[in-house]
Amino acid sequence: MTPDCPLPHHEDERVLLGHGAGGRLTAELLASLVLPAAAVPPGPLEDAALLPTAPELVLSTDGFVVSPLFFPGGDIGSLAVHGTVNDLAMRGAEPLALAVALIVEEGLPLAELRAVVESLGKAAAGAGAAVITGDTKVVGRGAADRLFVTTTGVGRRLPGLCPSAARARPGDAILLSGALGRHGAAVLSTREGLGFETDLTSDSRPLHRLVRALAPLGEAVHTLRDPTRGGLAATLNEIAEASGTGAEIEESVLPVPEPVAAVCDLLGLDPLHVANEGCLVAYVPERHADEALAALRSVPEGAEAVRIGDVVAEHPRRVVLRTRIGSHRVVDVPVGEQLPRIC
Amino acid sequence: MTPDCPLPHHEDERVLLGHGAGGRLTAELLASLVLPAAAVPPGPLEDAALLPTAPELVLSTDGFVVSPLFFPGGDIGSLAVHGTVNDLAMRGAEPLALAVALIVEEGLPLAELRAVVESLGKAAAGAGAAVITGDTKVVGRGAADRLFVTTTGVGRRLPGLCPSAARARPGDAILLSGALGRHGAAVLSTREGLGFETDLTSDSRPLHRLVRALAPLGEAVHTLRDPTRGGLAATLNEIAEASGTGAEIEESVLPVPEPVAAVCDLLGLDPLHVANEGCLVAYVPERHADEALAALRSVPEGAEAVRIGDVVAEHPRRVVLRTRIGSHRVVDVPVGEQLPRIC
């Protein structure tokens, strides 16, 4: 190309499915287009944002487009509550109120709409969060796929907690509260008709009680994240990126249930890339690791909590897996779309 | 039907386009299905809800599905900001922060996405509201129509203001801040290719400055509402319903611009049913009417403010129009869908 050539421009580019997968394409779309265009204040991307002039309150929004609407262990209604409650929880907050916006395709059976909204109401009550406002739009047949739910939550931070992806530090222990891959594998096996349905249910559940259990550790809770879209791999990489640290995790201790491993084998997926909706990673200094692990295990949803690795100063912004045979491999962020419409 | 017959049940019923039109079908769907299922606290339906334990803060969410994405006077990005800022304003609040959730159809040109998000960011800055968090989902081709935007706002109430649809009282003057029908007529004429485009632009704009101008009246501002979906007819009826009052309005003073009247004539629409996105109705006691009108007119977006009628004790829950020829007719809520995807 000569220097006279015009720079390539990408105005003829289009949105790809992978732009919504929570991986590298999503990060690029956000960094290069959405965030600057919307004039979002710079800083690490967190699951929920602190309210200006009221930083004890946090705000989070999430659109849910999961297909099918009903899956083993949940549905789009309960998922839409858990997802948003968990985004608040990852900033150390308990849910105060929820707002729900429905976009409904003409022709959706009212019975299905009722089932979803009832499940949503029940999940909200279960998480101690009232739905205080909402909106319903209907679009013509073919203009949406059945039902989309956008849930926004306002939460109040528990005193003393100020977790942030940017606060991970070398020497932190990395804890994981539960088994990996159940949500993604459950939705995918239903969709593909793999017949694993009876074995496998989504882990969709609220995580605020786990966070409450960690609250006595206060500032020692450096980072909390729930590994949803893009799986544990994307989450650990986001934290490494935001904090400028490296991470090393142990393959031998990663809790991957047998049915999840089977689905992943069959579909050629890495369980580290599969979405979760009911577990979190917590980063705490080494000296607080046992106390934090005990706190997580004190709550039923944290019974399987394990320590999976450590934050290191070496290889900043890179996540490394120590394999069962003692070798090391880089844990990469999925580039694009493995599991469209998983949440 | 004999008494032994089972009650009719409607589980085979489906969502209709009209369920999303802001008229009677929408009200029925909300009252019979969505609100009880989601366990929303009972009370009059307002544009925004007060936050429990922090009632100086209000929360509002709105999904935007307007088609086309770009229309004379705005686009889905600016509309999504104005709509939510205005819902907050109708509870007497100024916007504090916004959360934006995008649902994008695979294949949308990135240039269009950028144009929408830039417009959204600009509108937010114009309304003094920062977008502090967001979410982006992508669905496959045919699973959504280009782009849907859900905007949620947190606002802070101006001291002394506590407007509510339930506070309308006989003797209140009903004020309208601007001309009727521009948004709906502009979108519709674009969509139908009627060639009115050059004459007619949407009135989409933020209304919080009008509310700020009214703030010195304090508690005397009984009710504020912006007549969006379902138009002025739906709004006046909702207020009559929530407050148990009647309303009488004067046809001769209703500001319907010539191009709006022309589009309505051509398409057989009642301008009272057409959506607005840049005007409000304010209910204030008779003795404050002149002061309130002057306050509205002190702001450019309220230059055309007029008094359109009165709240009456007679015919509670009914809105009556005094026509130019001196007769009376009931102003009904549109039953279903005249203008799908107008916002």
A136: nearest CB among B10, B30, B113: B30
Residue B24 banded pLDDT, cuts 50, 70, 90:
confident
Please count the helices (runs of H) and the strands (runs of E) in chain B: 9, 14
Give the CB-side neighbour count of residue B326, counting CA atoms within 13 A: 0
pLDDT at B10 (0 to 100) = 52
Which amino acid, one-letter code, is at A340?
Answer: P
Strand A147-157 relative to strand A54-64, pairing: antiparallel
Contact state of A14 with B108 under an 8 Å Cβ cutoff: yes
Contact state of A110 with B52 under an 8 Å Cβ cutoff: no
Measured between alpha carbons, how far is residue B332 from residues A138, A243, B122, B252 in Å? 22, 59, 37, 18
pLDDT at A174 (0 to 100) = 98
Q: Min CA distance, B269 vs chain A (Å)?
A: 20
Which residue is closest to B18 within chain A, CA to CA? A138
In A, which residues are within 8 Å of B63 by CB distance? 101-103, 135-137, 150
Which amino acid, one-letter code, is at A21?
Answer: A
In B, which residues are within 8 Å of A81 by CB distance? none
* Segment B232-250, tens digit of pLDDT: 999 999 999 999 999 999 9
In A, which residues are within 8 Å of B33 by CB distance? 110, 113-114, 117
Annotate B247-300 with DSSP letters as a single string.
Answer: EEEEGGG----HHHHHHHHHHT--GGGS--SS--EEEEEGGGHHHHHHHHHTSG
Pairwise pLDDT comparison (B109 vs B31), residue with the higher score: B109
Asked if B281 and B180 count as a contact pair (C-beta separation under 8 A), the reply is no
Contact state of A97 with B49 under an 8 Å Cβ cutoff: yes
* Segment B184-221, tens digit of pLDDT: 999 988 887 776 656 799 999 999 999 999 999 999 99
Report mean pLDDT in 10-residue bins for chain A, 343 residues: 40 84 85 88 79 91 97 97 97 95 96 96 95 94 97 96 96 98 92 71 97 98 96 96 98 96 91 96 98 98 98 97 96 78 91
Measured between alpha carbons, how far is residue B207 from residues B93, B110, B200 in Å? 10, 30, 20
> Which of A139, A151, A164 is the best mutation test for B, with the most CBs of B within 10 A?
A139
Gap between the Cα atoms of A301 and A320, Å rounded:
27
What was the ipTM of the complex prediction? Answer: 0.93
Tokens of A140: 């013509």
Pairwise pLDDT comparison (A47 vs B139), residue with the higher score: B139
Q: Strand pairing partners for A107?
A: none
pLDDT at B337 (0 to 100) = 62
The rounded radius of gyration (Å) of the Cα atoms in chain B is 20
Contact state of A34 with B136 under an 8 Å Cβ cutoff: yes
B117: nearest CB among A38, A105, A107: A38
Which residue is closest to B27 within chain A, CA to CA? A136
Region B6-33 average pLDDT: 77
Q: Strand pairing partners for A224?
A: A282
* Segment B53-87, tens digit of pLDDT: 888 999 999 999 999 999 999 999 999 999 999 99
Measured between alpha carbons, how far is residue A338 from residues A133, A162, A173, A277, B331 in Å? 34, 33, 29, 17, 53
